[in-house]
Amino acid sequence: MQEYADCVNVLYPQEVGADMTIVIKVLFVTALAGLISGAWYGHKDGFLDSVILGIVGFFMLPCIAVFIGGILYGIWWLFV
């Protein structure tokens, strides 16, 4: 019976809440900003560098944003 319950959870997962939807959208917009800024930074060196730096920016900027946000949340958690 437990295997059936696990299967149902996989097939019909719980919906994502409204707060998580906002976080996902903000991270995606941040990733797009990283893509644009990386591509803009690399456009002087050629098309391939622009593409590579755009991909790097797409993945790195949200990671940096989450890292800084985690530090700020940790500081807030210590003093509240």
CA dihedral 70, 73, 78, 80 (to 10 degrees): -170
Region 46-56: what's the mean pLDDT? Answer: 93
Percent of the chain with pLDDT over 70: 92
The answer, as to whether pTM is greater than 0.75, is no
Is pLDDT at 45 greater than 90 in this prediction?
Answer: no
pLDDT in tens, 30-44: 999 999 999 998 888
Question: Could you tell me the residue ranges of all domains in the chain?
Answer: 17-79
- Cβ atoms of 34 and 60 within 8 Å: the answer is yes
